[in-house]
């Protein structure tokens, strides 16, 4: 049987442990910026494409960000394009960035038709990334993100710019 004094000590110890665990997680953690660098086809059929996508994660925080993986939906030219889940682990340095490749599955027909119908004059293509980063930061296990930007169409098609 546990005495009243022992219960008080156990509760106090539990409270100290909870506070210590929570203090290890910064309260003002800024959302990492995830951007799309480029892609190339790995395997393709008429209904589905497997693509290797190059992504960049920028960590605006003063602590390193240990990433367990990434779950992302990609839109191109305002059309759903691809979805991927990566279980690759890497660390993004404090106030730094890391690039990595991941495989995604696409049904690119709609987006590619829209791009082809844009009269070929577009230099850049709008993209939207929406998903979550899985982390090893104590109680903070997932960080949602949503980023938009533009990528040169030649990078999407795997072509290099002349002279670059």
- What CATH number has the domain bearing residue 83? 2.60.40.1820
> Does 53 reside within a domain?
yes
Domain span holding position 59: 28-156
Tally of domains within the chain: 1
Classify residue 7: in a domain, yes or no: no
Using one digit for the tens of pLDDT, what is the confidence trace for 9-52? 765 555 555 544 444 555 578 889 998 888 888 888 877 889 89
Cβ pair 66, 25 in contact under 8 A: no
Which tops the pLDDT comparison, 112 or 49?
Answer: 49
Q: What are phi and psi of 38, to 5 degrees?
A: 175, 180
Residue 164 binned pLDDT confidence (cut-offs 50, 70, 90): very low
Q: Please, is 149 exposed, middle or buried when counting C-beta atoms within 10 Å of its C-beta (0-12, 13-18, 19+)?
A: middle
pLDDT in tens, 119-141: 555 578 888 999 999 988 766 68
pTM for this structure? 0.71
93 has a pLDDT exceeding 90: yes
């Amino acid at each position: 049987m546990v005495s009243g004094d022992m219960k008080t000590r156990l509760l106090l110890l539990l409270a100290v442990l909870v506070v210590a665990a929570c203090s290890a997680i910064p309260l003002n953690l800024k959302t990492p910026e995830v951007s799309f660098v480029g892609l190339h086809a790995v395997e393709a059929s008429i209904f589905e494409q497997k693509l290797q996508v190059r992504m960049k994660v920028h960590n605006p925080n003063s602590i390193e960000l240990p990433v367990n993986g990434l779950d992302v939906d990609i839109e191109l030219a305002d059309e759903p394009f691809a979805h991927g889940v990566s279980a690759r682990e890497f660390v993004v340095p404090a106030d730094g960035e890391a690039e990595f490749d991941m495989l995604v599955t696409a049904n690119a027909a709609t987006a590619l038709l829209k791009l082809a119908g844009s009269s070929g004059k577009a230099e850049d293509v709008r993209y939207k990334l929406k998903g979550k980063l899985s982390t090893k930061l104590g109680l903070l296990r997932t960080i949602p993100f949503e980023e938009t930007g533009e990528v040169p169409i030649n990078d999407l098609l795997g072509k290099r710019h002349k002279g670059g």
